[in-house]
Amino acid sequence: MEDKHSTENLEFSGSVDTGTIPVSKPSALDFDTGIRHIIAPAVIGMILGILAERFLTPNVAWPSPPQAAMLGTILLSPMLYFILLSDEKSRWWEYSLGILAPGSYFIMIWFSGWGALFCGGYLPLLIWVWISTSWGRFDLPPFRYGIWHSFAVNIGGFAGAILAFNLAS
């Protein structure tokens, strides 16, 4: 992982024995990172969750809206890679695997019925907040961005389903 900081963000810490040691200052997330890796995947999940709640749930019992959001994201992951990351074209499959790894876990958890709200909603929300506050300062490989986006889609799909259900009632 490379830190996004340049040499102008370095402070120097002195020591009697070693001289000066460069220490990078922690920085806040920039706007571009917030949009591409926090807001956009959550909005994509919310849109897919709303569509699933509105059109899929009245007709079939499976998949639930968060599951449908994850399945849609897994299927659209190559396209999302080029939209959200715009990295090397040959590394799209790493991003897709990053989406698939926690995505398959979320799909199974939402099936279980027991603890789905905790393991599929509350716990991923806490992990997503932690990931968003700590990973945003680094240039990551596509696999880790896929993991990050998968958590956002899960939370967005759940929130979108709740919103669509409440608006329809």
pLDDT value at position 131?
A: 94
Q: Residues 47-60: pLDDT tens digits?
A: 999 999 999 999 99
pLDDT value at position 32?
A: 85
> What is the band of 21 on the pLDDT scale with cuts at 50, 70, 90?
low
Q: Residues 154-168: pLDDT tens digits?
A: 999 999 999 999 998
**In angstroms, rounded to a whole number, what is the distance separating the alpha carbons of residues 12 and 7?**
11
Residue 6 CA neighbour count, 13 Å, CB half: 1
pLDDT value at position 138?
A: 85
Q: Two tokens at 13? A: 């810490």
Asked whether 139 and 41 are in contact (CB, 8 A), the reply is no
Average of per-residue pLDDT across 15-38: 69
pTM value surpassing 0.75: yes
pLDDT value at position 93?
A: 94
Nearest alpha carbon to residue 45 among 64, 22, 20: 64
pLDDT value at position 27?
A: 59
**In angstroms, rounded to a whole number, what is the distance separating the alpha carbons of residues 106 and 124?**
9
Q: Residues 106-133: pLDDT tens digits?
A: 999 888 877 677 888 889 999 999 999 9
Neighbours of 42 (CB within 10 A): 22
> What is the band of 18 on the pLDDT scale with cuts at 50, 70, 90?
low
pLDDT value at position 77?
A: 96
- Token pair 């571009």 is found at 32
Report which secondary-structure segment, H or E, holds 20: strand 19-24
